Amino acid sequence: MVKIKRQIVSKAIESKVTYGGKNPVNYITVHQTGNTSRGANAKMHAKLQSNGNSRAASWHYSVDDKEVYQSFEDTAQCWHSSDGKGPGNTQSIAVEICINSDGNYRKAVENGAELVRYLLDKHGLSVDKVRQHHDWYPKNCPAQIRAGKDGITWSDFLNMVKGVKVSKPKETQTGSEQITKSSPSNGVSLDVDGKWGNSTTRALQKALNTPIDGILSGQNRNSVTNALYGNTARFDGGGSVVVRALQRKVGVRDDGVLGPETVRALQRYLGTPQDGVLSRPSTVVKEMQRRLNAGTF
Ligand SMILES: [Zn+2]
């Protein structure tokens, strides 16, 4: 595997961005950086940590298509899993896989899998101790693997970790194209304006594999649906198919009605403030549109 470059942060920085206890290393947690910028590679992420620029987060390893940087000793309790003093932060090692658009996505994931396998062996762990960030907290991370980008799903990733070579995808894409266009909701380019209209519903229907008509049918008339469509919208009662699919996705009772409880679950799923309100425009809809465009919803 590629060489691990050790660039351990100073004690002063470590004391600001870790819990300071001893990590027993019971798990390995996989993340993807969420940063598609050119140059947002392992070296840049390591530098960010060395400079103390990432005040609210910390992670042990950054890996890209060429190299691995280690920023914290394995025993550090870094802040990466959004679970407070839960097992993600206090008992696992964080591996951040870079998704910079000027890197080779598949190679970076393969290097990530190799690093995970190396860490499992080093700490005497089996592959069932590999976790997604999402297993600790309902954040969509590692987003691209979760979305099966470039044909690499989570189970493919685990197979890579086990040393099984995954089959080549039928179509390979390169450069910045791969970030926005190669996912299950291929071809979606919504305005990220935070306003949930027919085109957003259409994209959501496509992503959730429900009939595509751009109409959020079956809504009870209430403040939420009026906020979405205005008072003149047509609603036919009886619950909406796409809302039910959405509810199952975000883990709330699937009654087909887009009420405050569902909005709150959607906000939790997307990591935006949870107030159960769907204003127009709204932060949660913006994030949903962004993810629908990226194919990472
Ligand atoms: Zn993460």
Regions of the chain where pLDDT drops below 50: 166-185, 219-221, 223, 231-237
- Distance (Å) from CA 31 to ligand 1 centroid: 4
Element (H, E) at 117: helix 105-122
pLDDT per residue over 78-119, tens digit each?
Answer: 999 999 999 999 999 999 999 999 999 999 999 999 999 999
Predicted pLDDT at 277:
86
CA torsion sign for 289, 178, 137, 273 is: negative
CA-to-CA distance for 110 and 95, rounded, in angstroms? Answer: 12
- The reply to whether omega before 87 is within 30° of 0 (cis) is no
Query: Which two three-digit tokens encode residue 17?
Result: 């961005």
Query: Which two three-digit tokens encode residue 137?
Result: 């907290």
Query: Which two three-digit tokens encode residue 13?
Result: 């920085």
DSSP secondary structure string for all residues of 39-62: T-SHHHHHHHHHTT--TT---SEE
Predicted pLDDT at 233:
41
Predicted pLDDT at 247:
87
- Distance (Å) from CA 80 to ligand 1 centroid: 6
Give me the residues near ligand 1 (ion), CB cutoff below 5 Å.
Answer: 31, 133, 141
The half-sphere exposure of 238 on its side-chain side, counting CA atoms within 13 A, is 4
Predicted pLDDT at 165:
56
CA-to-CA distance for 58 and 74, rounded, in angstroms? Answer: 12
Single pTM value for the model: 0.57
pLDDT per residue over 130-139, tens digit each?
Answer: 999 999 999 9
- Distance (Å) from CA 61 to ligand 1 centroid: 12
Predicted pLDDT at 257:
78
Predicted pLDDT at 197:
84
